């Protein structure tokens, strides 16, 4: 078993539950973040998505400010900002501003996917494909804007210069593992939905890692789905919401989060479908005792430094309770 202490965090897409409003969904995110702070979660990240009526995390930097303003110490950031959608200068200014308002609490996770469909990506930025191919250079621009050395340049993000905003490279394949290693930056893998390349990506990142002024040794974060309840049966019932959500992603029939239902044989058959099973491979569902065993196995297999829990529940009360029980699990593992 891993002897190092494993950090634990939350990733939020602010997905709207059926019958709920976007406003209430965003308030629910804050309520979870406030509880996560009490339970010693390290960070609370929002993921950028566009052109979905059921996802409230499109204006990521605004939500980061909302949560940071109403919490005290938990780190808040992006998991991630989809950089090809944006001007690096504007992102540096936004996150530099956040870091002045909430010192030593703001993270900037950067990804290269659009977080939306091709037509919307084109609407967001007409040269999206060019920016996506230039992702390493775009990350370099962000780094320059945050550097004090950029103060003599003609183009500056003055509010960001010298400000402490750690950068994280996000990935769902092996491509970004090479980049994170080359730049000596921490690496977060989206294994909560893209499980196939996790182990290979971690191996590449660790073997190619180059120490930098930002990071001396590799630092890895893995995305996971976690549902902890009083019993295995209750956790499986809550899990049916996520199964239906991912089925909607695969079939194109996206909808608001659906209420939990009994975990029937039909539900098990859906979960056994190869595509759905692959996407939800790193889903840990059950009582505290059950999930603790699953997490210990996962940590032994991956040796990651941190896990970040993708948090999609129909009921926010279930989500908060699961977060509390998972924190108890992680404290037991770490102590």
Which CATH number does the domain housing residue 58 bear? Answer: 3.20.20.30
Domain span including residue 155: 7-334
Nearest to 222 by CA among 2, 33, 49, 67: 2
- Whether 254 is covered by a domain: the verdict is yes
**Torsion angle (degrees, nearest 10) of CA 297, 186, 127, 58:** 70
249 part of a folded domain = yes
CA dist 133 and 269 (Å) reads 39
The answer to whether position 193 is within a domain reads yes
Burial of 127 (0-12, 13-18, 19+ CB in 10 A): exposed
Q: How far apart are CA 213 and CA 218, in angstroms?
A: 13
Q: Would residue 60 count as lying in a domain?
A: yes
End-to-end CA distance of the chain: 12
What's the pLDDT score for residue 155? 97
pTM of the model: 0.96
Pair of tokens at residue 326:
């998972």
pLDDT given for residue 3 in this prediction: 63
Q: How many CB atoms lie within 10 A of CB 148?
A: 9
Is residue 231 situated within a structural domain? yes
Query: Which of the residues in the chain have pLDDT under 70?
Result: 1-3, 126, 128
Look at the chain and report how many structural domains it folds into: 1
Q: Are 57 and 46 in contact (CB under 8 A)?
A: yes
- Is the CB of residue 57 less than 8 Å from the CB of residue 85? no
Residue 2, domain member (yes or no)? no
Q: Is residue 1 part of a domain?
A: no
């Amino acid at each position: 078993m891993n002897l190092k202490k494993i950090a634990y965090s939350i990733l939020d897409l602010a997905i709207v539950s059926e019958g709920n409003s976007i406003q209430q969904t965003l308030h629910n995110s804050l309520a979870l973040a406030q509880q996560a702070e009490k339970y010693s979660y390290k960070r609370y990240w929002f993921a950028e998505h566009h052109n979905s009526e059921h996802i409230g995390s499109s204006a990521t930097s605004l939500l980061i400010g909302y949560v940071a303003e109403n919490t005290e110490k938990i780190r808040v950031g992006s998991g991630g900002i989809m950089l090809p959608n944006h001007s690096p200068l504007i992102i540096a200014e936004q996150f530099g501003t956040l870091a002045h308002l909430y010192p030593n609490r703001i993270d900037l996770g950067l990804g290269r996917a659009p977080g939306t469909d091709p037509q919307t990506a084109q609407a967001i930025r007409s040269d999206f494909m060019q920016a996506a191919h230039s992702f390493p250079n775009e990350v370099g621009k962000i780094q320059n804007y945050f550097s004090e050395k950029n103060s003599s340049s003609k183009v500056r993000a003055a509010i960001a210069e010298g400000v402490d905003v750690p950068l994280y490279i996000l990935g769902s394949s092996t491509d970004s593992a090479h980049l994170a290693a080359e730049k000596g930056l921490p690496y977060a893998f989206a294994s909560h939905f893209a499980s196939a390349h996790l182990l290979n990506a971690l191996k590449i990142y660790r073997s190619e890692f180059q120490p930098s002024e930002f990071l001396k040794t590799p630092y890895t974060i893995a995305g996971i789905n976690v549902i902890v309840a009083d019993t295995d049966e209750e956790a499986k019932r809550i899990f049916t919401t996520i199964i239906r959500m991912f089925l909607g992603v695969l079939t194109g029939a996206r909808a608001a989060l659906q209420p939990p239902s009994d975990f029937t044989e039909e539900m098990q058959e859906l979960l056994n479908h190869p595509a759905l099973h692959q996407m939800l491979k790193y889903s840990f569902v059950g009582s505290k005792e059950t999930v603790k065993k699953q997490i210990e196995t996962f940590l032994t297999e991956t040796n990651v430094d941190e896990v970040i829990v993708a948090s999609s529940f129909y009921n926010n009360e279930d989500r908060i309770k699961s977060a509390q029980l998972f924190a108890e699990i992680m404290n037991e593992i770490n102590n």
